Amino acid sequence: MSNNNNTYKTFFKGQEIDKELSKWLFISNVNENGKCYFTYTVINKLSGFQYSGKKQTEYPSTFRKYSGSGSIVNYFQRQDGLQNFEMHITGFYDSSVAARLAEATVVNDWYIHRKDVYNIAPGGNEKPASDTDAIYHCPKTLKQFNGYKTQEEKFKSFGFVRGISPKSLANNTLWSAAGRLATSIRTRKIKLIHEGQELTVKNEDVKSLLTDGAVFSSTRVWMHYPNPEKHYKRGETVTQPLTNNPQRILKMLTSGWEIGVPSKFAA
């Protein structure tokens, strides 16, 4: 969640972050890829409740404007006013892995069950598969195995009622198999840079283009292991950081993996 309210304040080691300090923090902590990774805690000054997480950024202004991304903390920011919240940066890290590990030490099972905490799931769950750091299991799947099931319990503790909003009910694409499949196909496009041009390509063309030297221009690609019954087990569906290792994707494609989102709505 971004913030344009000048009364919202952020801090590092007790010092309020202004434009000059945000620039200094960025220069001091940016890695060779132009990115900063940090952990933070957002505090509701009215109630003392808090939300902790991690963030990746390429812009110094993030240190002054970012206010967390949890659905519960965002709800109370709208209710209580963003000016009644403040963010404290708790650490900087040189990689996503280091930031995730740091987040996991704080946002653990004990933390999310605290009554004064807005977090609903353990942090740092985007763990790499055992065979390579280049392959990541679907974070949502891992959260389901590592405490995400507690989100309903946490929502109830804040007085939220389980249900579907009128806006969602009016969206027919959410309630038909054809609509959900069409949405999946429309929103998951693969882009490659080939001979200096960015191309949106079909799944079946990826292998030949990678072999020809193309590289990915998107951030991730979905891959799945063929399963005729379409009941996928943990580890049979993964996301691959595209800029990380195209050769790894080629190896997976050669060994039987396929690119694309496996949909239980497919014919």
The predicted model scores a pTM of 0.59
pLDDT at residue 187 in the model: 58
Per-residue pLDDT at 147 exceeds 60: no
Q: Which residues pair with 239 in a beta bridge?
A: 136, 222
**Cα–Cα distance for residue pair 260/267, rounded to 1 Å:** 15
Contact indicator for 100, 37 with CB cutoff of 8 Å: no
Structure confidence by residue, pLDDT tens digits, 10-49? 999 999 999 999 999 999 999 988 999 999 999 999 999 9
Structure confidence by residue, pLDDT tens digits, 203-231? 788 888 888 888 877 666 777 777 766 66
pLDDT at residue 195 in the model: 85
Provide, rounded to the nearest whole percent, the portion of the chain with pLDDT above 90: 34
pLDDT at residue 166 in the model: 66
Provide, rounded to the nearest whole percent, the portion of the chain with pLDDT above 70: 67
Q: How confident is the model at residue 252 (pLDDT cuts 50, 70, 90)?
A: confident
pLDDT at residue 2 in the model: 47
Q: Of 31-45, 103-117, 250-264, which range is least confident?
A: 250-264
Q: How confident is the model at residue 180 (pLDDT cuts 50, 70, 90)?
A: low
Domain ranges for the chain: 9-125+138-157, 166-259
Strand order in 15-16's β-sheet? Answer: 15-16, 9-12, 85-93, 36-44, 50-57
CB-based burial of residue 32 (10 Å sphere; 0-12 exposed, 13-18 middle, 19+ buried)? exposed
Per-residue pLDDT at 243 exceeds 50: yes
Q: Which residues contact 262 (CB under 8 A, 6 or more apart)?
A: 224, 227, 230, 232, 237
Return mean pLDDT, the chain.
Answer: 78
Q: What is the mean pLDDT of residues 65-91?
A: 94
